[in-house]
Chain A
Amino acid sequence: MFSASQFDSATAFSGGGFMSSQPSQLNDSSPAPSKSRDSQGLIPVTVKQISEASQSGDEKSNFVIDGVDLNNVTLVGMVYEKVERNTDVNFILDDGTGRIKCRRWVNETFDTKEMEQVMNGMYVRVYGHLKSFQGVRQLVAFSVRPVTNFDEIPFHFIDCIHNHLRSKLKVEGITSGNPSSISSLNTAVKSEPNGSQAPSSNPGYAQYSVDGLKDCDKLVIDYLQQHSDMSDERGIHVNELSRELKLPLDKIMLSLKTLGDDGLVYSTIDDYHYKQA
């Protein structure tokens, strides 16, 4: 039985599938920049960034960009030189910053069908795993989908910039707290001032998730955060939230629903008690 304080989405989802498993930093008080929790996610990158990524250790698939370990990446670019074979489909992805070889293994009918839709000269969104094979970096794709809304292209590159800033802030924030990186983050994205003051037990959390929350959602999550007690597994009753935050119950319930959908809170013994995830 784990207590609620140990529950952390990073640990919960890092076990299976294609996520890299890595121990959570939650209970570790000393910050370790290289083992950032971000390394578990899917990171938007450009081919240029991949070409400059440093390879850590002698493992074949251990890349670091902006001081963050990276395994699974997403790119948007154009398909060239598609070659279909019985077991796999190879192509070159050109995202305008460079070209990288991609390979999609086709085991299931689903894989074949998805790859049939992909034509040369088409814009696609690729999700894949970065690997080094005979000294050449390539992408083992597990999803290749045609771009249908072309706003996804600028979005992807803005996403790359956003992610770059966030990693930079995290790495520099731990080592030097360089103010220039903070100011650049403020200009490019709406950064949450609370991010740097988040409880030390959960450093990545506030700046990652509070972005874009509505006022009411934020009040609720802040209250749950401040009044979380490891020993109390029941959490906070909705009436208490309503009373303490001086907000109508239906608003509280709505916020809890939104936060629950985002995986930030969860109900405990019944639908009226909540804890922060």
Chain B
Amino acid sequence: MDTSNPAVFVNGHLIPNFIGKKVRAVVQVNQCDGGVATAKSSDDCQLTIKGLPEVPLLNYIEVIGIAESSNSISAEVWTDFGNTFDTNSYNQLCQLANGEFKSLFL
């Protein structure tokens, strides 16, 4: 068992709390060239995702990686969640996981 390196559920507004740490976010990719993608977080913030390969545009992609700045993530692992995903629920989960129920996650 190892809980020393969690990946925190984040939306755009929560990233600044985790700079330099591992996070996970579901984003919708708008533009992708040369490993740098522009994407929208579950709370409609513009993010830059580095290290992402060519992914289907407008699909929901989960990236797990290090938060480099308040609006960029360097991706280590990514999963294509397809083109239908309930971002509203995901966004609320981000808030719960960093708020009242933090003890279940971090």
Contact = CB atoms under 8 A, between A and B. Distances in A.
Centre residue among B2, B24, B104 by max chain A CB count within 10 A: B104
Contact of B1 (A99, A123, A184): A99
A157 interface: yes
Interface in A45-81: 46-51, 78
Interface stretch (A9-17, A158-166, A215-223, A264-272): A158-166
Contacts, number: 73
Contacts of B85: 150-151
B86 A151 contact: yes
Interface in B55-106: 60, 62, 64, 77, 79, 81-82, 85-86, 89-90, 93, 96-97, 100-101, 103-106
A96 B1 contact: no
A65 to B, nearest CB: 10
Given A49-B104, A184-B100, A158 B93 contact: yes
B96 A98 contact: no
Contacts of B8: 96
Nearest to B82: A150
Nearest to A157: B93
Contacts of A98: 1-4, 6
A161 to B, nearest CB: 5
B64 A47 contact: no
A110 B86 CA distance: 33
A99 B1 CA distance: 6
Contacts of A99: 1-3
A218 B100 CA distance: 32
Contacts of B1: 47, 50-51, 98-101, 136-138
Interface in A196-228: none
A152 to B, nearest CB: 10
Given A51-B1, A158-B93, A97 B77 contact: no
A76 to B, nearest CB: 12
B7 interface: yes
B6 A154 contact: no
B106 A97 contact: yes
B89 to A, nearest CB: 5
Contacts of B82: 150
A161 B104 contact: yes
B6 A121 contact: no
Interface of A: 46-51, 78, 96-101, 121, 123, 136-138, 150-151, 153-155, 157-158, 160-161, 164, 184, 188
Given A97-B106, A188-B96, 19 more contacts: A47-B3, A48-B103, A48-B104, A51-B3, A96-B8, A97-B6, A97-B104, A97-B105, A98-B1, A123-B79, A136-B1, A137-B1, A150-B62, A150-B82, A151-B85, A154-B90, A158-B93, A164-B101, A184-B100
